[in-house]
Structure formats: C-alpha cells, structure tokens
Amino acid sequence: MNEAERIVLIGVSKFYGEVLGVNNVDLTIGPGLTGLVGPNGAGKSTLMNLLTGLIKPTKGSVRILGISPGSPELLFRKVGLCSQWDSFPPGATGLALLEATLMMHGLARRTARERALEALETVGLTAAAGRKVDGYSKGMKQRVKLANALCHNPQVLFLDEPLNGLDPQGRSEMIDILKERAGRGHHVLVSSHILHEVDLISDTIIMMHGGRVVAEGAIRDVRQEIVDRPVQILIRCDRPERVAARAFEMAHVVAAQILDQGGGLIVSTRDGQSFFSNLPRIVVDEGLAVETVVPADEDVRAVYDYLIGPEGGQG
Amino acid sequence: MNAGFRVRQMKTVAGVDFRRTLGGRRTLGLVLFCSIPVVIALVRTFVFPEGARMDVGRTTHELAQIFSLFHLRFIVFFGCAFLFVKSFRGEVLQHTLHLTLLLPIRRSDLIIGKYFGALAVALSVLLPSTLALVVFYRLANGVARTFQLMTTSQGLGHLAAYLGITALAAVGYGALFLLAGLFFRNPMVPAALYLGFEALAPYLPFPIRVFSIGRHLHALLPVPVSLGPLAVTGSDTPGWLAIILILGVAAVAVRLAGWRAQGFEVDYS
C-alpha cells in the first residue's frame, strides 16, 4: 500500500508553549475502522486537529492519502471531520449548514440541497432539517456534525468522540454508519474514551497517553506484545476445579480462578500457546463438557488497563 | 483547480457570509449606529433650520464637514471596524471557525470571499446612510430647492462623490480591519491604533503615510473642509492617485490576511 492510500504521521510533535499536545508520534493508518483511545488529555483531539490542519505540528509531517493538511482545497475533497465542538453559525438550520458545505464542493444550489437532505436522512434528521441547529439537542448536534462530515462522501472520516450525547439507539445507528463506511474501504478514525464502545466499533486501535502513542495495531496483536502480563483464558465448562488442578501441573500456569457461579474458570498463563495445545488432552482425560474457550483479556479494556492503568480511563 | 471554480467558491463564501451577517441580530445595532447621521441631518433641518434655509453654500459646506469629520471618521470607520474584524475573528469568538476551515478552499481564497461578503454588508448599510445624510441635510434648503439641487450636475456630482468616498472607505478600512481581525480579538484595539496612526500620518515618511486611507479619502472630497483637530489631515494627492492608493492598500491588506490565515490555528481557549 503506497502513501496515497494511507494516513502517515512522521515524528509529529505539537507543543503549546511549554504544554505538550502530542510528542513524536509516528503512525501509519490504513483503510477500515480504527479506534483512537486514551484518557482525557491524552492528545486524541490534538491528533485529530493535526490531521485536519486545524493546528500545525511544531515538528514532523502529516500526510493524508498523500495530501498535506496545509492544502485544504485538496484535503477536504477526501476528508471529513466530525469535531469535538458543538457550536454552529447562529441562525443556521441543519439544511442550510450542509447546503453551504456542499456548495463549497462545487455543487449547484439545487443539487447541494438534494444531497444535504440525503445526508440528513442518513443520520435521521429529516424532520429537523429546517430547524435552527442552535435549538438541537446534544444528540441531534452530534448527528448533524456527522452529516456535515460525510455529506460529500469523503474517503477519510475523522470523528472526535462522536458517540457523546447519543442515546443507545443513536449510538447503535452511528456505529452502523461508521461500519458501513469502513466496509466500503474508507478510512474511519474514531476517538473515544468509552472503551467498550471502541471494542464494538473496531478491531484496530491507537492508544494514546500523555501525548504519546503507547500502542497501535490489531487489539490481539497489541495484547500479545504485552509479554509481562500473563494471558487470561476463560473456559466455560462443568467441573472447573478439575481443569484448575490439571492446569497447575503446567509450569507456565500462574493462576486459576473459579468463576463465582461455578460454570467455568479463568486461567492465567505465561504461555498461551502451550496451554491451548494441552487443553484438548485435559478435556478428553477428564471427560469434560466444554462450552467455550476464549481469551479473557484480548479487548481494549484489558489492553488499556495493562498499558495505561485502570485509573487512566473511564467507562 | 481552475480559476472559475475558485471564483465560484469565493462567491459562495461571500454569499453565505452576507446572508448570515445581514440576518444576524447584531446587524440591527449596526443599522441603528449608521442611522445617527440621518438623525443629525433631520435635527439640523427641522429643529435648527434658521440661517441655512436660504443659504445653499452654507449647507453645502456644513454637509462636507459633517461628512468628513463625523460620518467618515466615526460612522464609516467604526462600522467597518465592527463588520470586518468580526468577519474572521467573530468565528473564533463563536467557536465556529473550524467549520469554515474544514471547507475545501484555499485559505487565501476564503479570506477574499469573506472580505467581499463583509464589503457587501458594509455597502448595504453605509451607502443608504450616506445617501440619507446628504438628502436630509439638503432639506434645510427646502424640499423644492433640495430637489432642484439634487438634479443639477453639481448636486448629483456631490452625491456621487460622497457615495464613492463611502464605498472606497469601506474598501480600504475594511481590508485593514479584516487583516486586524486575524491578530486582534477586540475590534476597538486596532481601530484605536489606526486612528492614532492616521493622526500621526502627516508627520511620517511617505512610504508609511501611504497606508493612511483617511488622507486619500480627504483628497476626494467634493468640497474642501476646514481642518479641525479631529479632521482627516489634508492631502495634496490627486484624486485618481488617491483611488489607486486606496485600492492598492486594500489589495495588499487582503493578501497579507490570506498569508496570515494560512498559518492560523483554531484555538478557542
């Protein structure tokens, strides 16, 4: 994949005087849905703003599909941003806002209006199209921001905390829209501090803390790189105490915790591969009925806790 | 990206800004502010008409002074300060600038579009104000005499000169205040600084004096006015050169604003 198909940041730093925004970030982001996670103040919004040229890097370079953010006339034909800010021009209706955006993309007023209405329909705002955005609820403002970001059908979509303020149905609909865009091969980068939602959205993450990228890639790969933490494996079965007893015969198993309800256990091991190799023999020897065997800590929450610490996050 | 498309984008920016500004609540305040000269003209005509009713020369001279010392110096100047500084800086204060900067347009083109949007609003408000000032002030000479005066070539010439000067003032001051809006949050700060500069302009070297819009406008007045302490300082610049200098200063200021906008960062803190 060449630079014209990727988002590339090389040695990007941003300082606000003495205050650190992001520090020496190197990233390459391919198509699909990528979650950008980190606690408040980690540098997520700064990164989004650097990617869209709303702020300039103190050093380093940014390229979006080969385009510099310093060329907005080229960049925003391919990029849409759903920003963190909820403010809109006073008196603007949802329809007028999108219509103006689309006219800037070269559409005639009538076509712009039609496309604006389509985008508003996509986010479920048809009925409120003619109302002033100032009067929208927080959730409606999130929707109109999304509509404004995607109305020109960009190849790259950046979303800064897009799920804030949405009700459960709204979140589900928003996630469906993002997955649909990613399914078309577009780049979708979603920042969030709500970790279980990132798990729902994306298999690939960028984890930030203190202005630095502390991990990036597929969640499973990131987890496997954390070698100082034993792998946790959830086994749902009958007679979990027998599994625990046999597991402790393996030197790499460091803990086995029977679940409160008794229907299974969590095994902690320093060698997941060996454990998975030996497990079928245990099952056959003991005549166990096994329901599921799954990694218990290959999710964003666990990775986040290992790398950043539970106090760093919310949700 | 071809030039035609870029011009269309600039027109779109200007049109959107024009509609949003003219439809905004604050513009009502500006309209009321620009009505002050009309009120003064009406008071002069109907409350203190003595002495002027029969003396066309006197009203002509008074009108030139009111226009130069008050209308141009106060109404047009501060009206432009409000409109043009607000054009860019207002978006920072409203936290909406990011929406504008996310549009697929060169920032220098965006600035040009915003300049013409604000200029259209300025002309929509200031030209009627100038027109009303001239007509209502002339009413001191009586309705029939006013009609007669306004239909002569000299009367029409004066009216055209006042309207033209107002438009050129909006062009020149507007560009400078648009540029100032990229540096200052409060329009009164650059306005006060520029007023100070214009007062000092006669004592400054020529290359700096060129940036005094007030001096060039004064050269275009159809009637010479006596210079008080707050008057626009006199200029011996020929009219045609004054117009070129105003347009030149405006072009330079808009270009500089475009450069400044290239590096502008969104910071609402």
Residue range A83-130, pLDDT digits in tens: 989 999 988 999 999 999 999 999 999 999 999 999 999 999 999 999
Instruction: Say if residue B229's pLDDT is above 60.
Output: no
Query: CB-based contact (8 Å) between A226 and chain B?
Result: no
Q: How many whole angstroms separate alpha carbon B204 and alpha carbon B197?
A: 9
Test mutation, B13, B17, B99, chain A, max A CBs within 10 A:
B99
CB A267, CB A232: distance < 8 Å: yes
Smallest Cβ distance to B98: which of A73, A80, A85?
A85
Give the count of beta carbons closer than 10 Å to the beta carbon of residue A180. Answer: 12
Instruction: Report the b/e string of B195-228 with b at 16+ CB within 10 A.
Output: bebbbebeeeeeeebbbbbbbbbbbbbbbebeee
CB-CB under 8 Å, A73 with B109: yes
One-letter amino acid for residue A299 of the chain: D
Q: Which helix (H) or strand (E) holds A63?
A: strand A59-64
The band of A166, judged by pLDDT with boundaries at 50, 70 and 90, is confident
Put simply, the chain B residues between 206 and 225 with a CB less than 8 A from any chain A CB are none
pLDDT in the model for residue B52: 53
Closest A-chain CA to B98: A54
Residues in B touching A80 (Cβ below 8 Å): 102
Smallest Cβ distance to A104: which of B23, B105, B268?
B105
Q: Which of B148, B150, B167, B168 is nearest to B159 (CA)?
A: B150
Query: CB-based contact (8 Å) between B93 and chain A?
Result: no
Q: How many whole angstroms separate alpha carbon B28 and alpha carbon B153?
A: 35
Query: CB-based contact (8 Å) between A93 and chain B?
Result: no
Closest A-chain CA to B266: A54
The band of A315, judged by pLDDT with boundaries at 50, 70 and 90, is very low
Instruction: Say if residue B51's pLDDT is above 60.
Output: no
Count of positions (residues) in chain A = 315
SS3 A296: coil
Give the count of beta carbons closer than 10 Å to the beta carbon of residue B50. Answer: 8
The band of B50, judged by pLDDT with boundaries at 50, 70 and 90, is low
Instruction: Say if residue A313's pLDDT is above 60.
Output: no
A246-303 per-position pLDDT tens digit:
999 998 998 899 987 778 999 999 888 888 889 999 999 999 899 888 888 777 777 7
- Environment class of B37 (CB within 10 Å of its CB; exposed 0-12, middle 13-18, buried 19+): buried
CB-CB under 8 Å, B268 with A85: yes
Q: Which of B22, B266, B256, B54 is nearest to B126 (CA)?
A: B22
ipTM over 0.90? The verdict is no
Residues in B touching A84 (Cβ below 8 Å): none
Query: CB-based contact (8 Å) between A101 and chain B?
Result: yes
B63-117 per-position pLDDT tens digit:
898 898 889 989 999 999 989 988 998 899 899 999 999 999 999 999 999 999 9
Looking at every residue in chain B, the average pLDDT score rounds to 87
Where do we find the tokens 């060996």? A274
The band of B236, judged by pLDDT with boundaries at 50, 70 and 90, is low
Region label for A153, one of left (φ > 0), alpha (ψ between -120 and 50) or beta (otherwise): left
Kindly report the nearest CA distance between residue A166 and chain B, in angstroms: 21
Query: CB-based contact (8 Å) between A55 and chain B?
Result: yes
Instruction: Say if residue B233's pLDDT is above 60.
Output: no
Residues 6 or more apart whose CB falls under 8 angstroms from that of B59 comprise: B52, B137, B138, B140, B141
Kindly report the nearest CA distance between residue A108 and chain B, in angstroms: 10
CB-CB under 8 Å, B12 with A87: no
List, as one string, the DSSP characters of B206-256: HHHHTT-HHHHHHTT-SS-----TTSPPP----HHHHHHHHHHHHHHHHHH
Q: How many whole angstroms separate alpha carbon B146 and alpha carbon B134?
A: 10
Residues in B touching A104 (Cβ below 8 Å): 9, 12-13, 103-105
Instruction: Report the b/e string of A202-220 with b at 16+ CB within 10 A.
Output: bbbbbbbbebbbbbbbebe
Region label for A185, one of left (φ > 0), alpha (ψ between -120 and 50) or beta (otherwise): left
Q: Nearest 5 degrees, angle CA B79-CA B8-CA B92?
A: 45
Test mutation, B9, B22, B88, B102, chain A, max A CBs within 10 A:
B102
CB contacts < 8 A (A, B) = 76
Residue B208 is encoded by which pair of tokens?
A: 């700096």
Instruction: Give pTM, 2 decimals.
Output: 0.85
One-letter amino acid for residue A126 of the chain: T
Residues in A touching B103 (Cβ below 8 Å): 72, 76, 101, 104
Q: Compute the 3-state secondary structure of chain A and give helix, strand, coil in percent, each to the nearest 5.
A: 40, 30, 30
Give the count of beta carbons closer than 10 Å to the beta carbon of residue B91. Answer: 21
Smallest Cβ distance to A104: which of B12, B263, B267?
B12
Query: CB-based contact (8 Å) between B87 and chain A?
Result: no
CB-CB under 8 Å, B267 with A104: no
